[in-house]
């Protein structure tokens, strides 16, 4: 069920991009071949050999490359966070948030708290800000309609991974 769930999740997050789906499928079916073919890009993620995490990492990197996800550091500026969310929203043809309220948010505030405040505002607009967990000090962000988030979280769990819309 795990690989099937990951492929279904890939289809949903990649907006049915056959290129991304095939890339994840290749990583599932032939992890050694995939890893050694693209070995250099995995060095950046600290991977020295294929692991069970390979298809998940392939999905996340493909989503980032297609601008359907955005990776931010654990200690990111408020400006960079708003840029990332605007970019994701624009890519999905979603109106940007009104950021006037965020001017009072200090860059000293922990990133998780900033993201939660933004997620709460987005929820009011029937949108979910969520992150795909890679057990690292960064957040891989996605923006999806509220109606989809529960199913995406469930698919990720069935695939052995985590998507969360709670940051604190």
- Chain centroid, CA 167 distance in Å: 13
The string of pLDDT tens digits covering residues 73-83 is: 988 899 999 99
* CA distances from residue 165 to 24, 90, 141, 145 in whole angstroms, order as listed: 23, 20, 10, 12
Residue 155's pLDDT is 98
The string of pLDDT tens digits covering residues 3-29 is: 999 999 999 999 979 999 999 999 999
The string of pLDDT tens digits covering residues 31-65 is: 999 999 998 888 888 888 888 999 999 999 999 99
* In the chain, where the domains are located: 2-164
pLDDT band at 98 (very low <50, low <70, confident <90, very high): confident
Distance, CA of 88 to CA of 30 (rounded, Å): 31
Distance, CA of 139 to CA of 163 (rounded, Å): 10
- If you ran DSSP here, which 8-state letter would residue 40 be given? H
- % of the chain surpassing 90 pLDDT: 70
């Amino acid at each position: 069920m795990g690989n099937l769930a990951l492929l279904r999740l890939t289809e949903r997050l990649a907006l049915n991009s056959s290129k991304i789906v095939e890339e994840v499928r290749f990583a599932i079916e032939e992890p050694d071949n995939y890893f050694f073919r693209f070995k250099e890009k995995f060095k950046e993620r600290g991977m020295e050999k294929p692991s069970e995490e390979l298809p998940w990492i392939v999905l996340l990197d493909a989503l980032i490359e297609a601008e359907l996800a955005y990776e931010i550091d654990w200690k990111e500026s408020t400006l960079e966070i708003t840029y990332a969310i605007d970019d994701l929203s624009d890519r999905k043809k979603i109106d940007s948030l009104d950021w006037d309220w965020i001017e009072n948010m200090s860059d000293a505030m922990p990133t998780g708290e900033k993201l939660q405040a933004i997620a709460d505002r987005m929820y009011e607009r029937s949108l979910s800000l969520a992150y795909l967990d890679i057990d690292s000090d960064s957040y891989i962000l996605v923006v999806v309609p509220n109606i989809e988030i529960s199913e995406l979280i469930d698919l990720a769990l069935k695939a052995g991974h985590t998507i969360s819309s709670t940051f604190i």
